[in-house]
Amino acid sequence: MLSCGLASVVCLAPGRAEAADLQARTVQAFEKHATETARDFLARAQKLATSTRRCDGVITARAGSGDGILSVPDGLVHHWLGLAYVRGARLREVDAIARDYPGYSKVYKSVVSSKVLSQQGDTYRVLIRLKEGEAGINAVLDVRSAVDYRTQGGGITAVSRSEEIREVENAGQPDEKLLPAGRDSGYLWRAHTLTHFAGGEDGVFIVMETLGLSRRFPFGLGWIIEPVARRLGRKSVEGSLNEFVTAIRRSAGLTASAPICS
């Protein structure tokens, strides 16, 4: 379910501006927050899976910490949380769709292409090309990530960590060019996704947290952009979860039901 995390942070980054260089202290601040978030993720996911009412479909999309956008030296961390429940689904079906990276372009509208670079057991290295075009933002990114799947906590946990993100200039054209990692427009410098699938007798509960790192908002425009970025972040998490849920239902031959909660 890598795409959910990526799509939710790409559209948060600022619009076209002068180039920005990723600083070491920015990476350190992001990794510190990411490490702390990952450390307690399973415990949070299990608590949510047992305490949240299981309403069929996307249940909520909200800030994962603070108000969703955290300031770090020379950058911004975007942290969002999404919950969903698919009544009638089975854990193996959800797991299979999450791992079907070549099929991601048929599931997520922001994914142009996706492929597995290598696989060793439950560890994948994948390359996904993303295209975003909301709110005047136009960006194409090649995101290479490592994804680890583990069976734990009565379900399956998938942890995706970006290894390299390259902004693409003139994508699809003869003069297409990959900009140097960390020396680009600063749309997205890092992207981690933490997902837990909890299976039950009646369906599968999905907990997803996304962490993204971008440049700061342009000086003097933060007060305008921040509220929009928060709305887009929440909307994108919800949208990506909806796309994932739709794919699960289609694969399992399920139909969307009225909002039934248990």
Report how far residue 150's alpha carbon sits from residue 21's, in angstroms, rounded to the nearest whole number: 35
20-34, 79-93, 165-179, 230-244 — which is least confidently predicted? Answer: 230-244
Report how far residue 151's alpha carbon sits from residue 167's, in angstroms, rounded to the nearest whole number: 34
3-state secondary structure of 22: coil
State mean pLDDT over 236-249. 92
| pLDDT on residue 1 | 57
| pLDDT on residue 16 | 47
Report how far residue 180's alpha carbon sits from residue 187's, in angstroms, rounded to the nearest whole number: 13
Spatial CA neighbour of 79 closest among 90, 98, 89, 66: 66
pLDDT digits (tens, 9 = 90+) for 145-172: 999 999 987 899 999 999 999 999 998 8
**What H or E segment, with its residue span, contains residue 186?**
none
Spatial CA neighbour of 117 closest among 157, 182, 163: 163
pTM of the model: 0.89
- List the domains of the chain with CATH numbers: 2-252 (3.30.530.20)
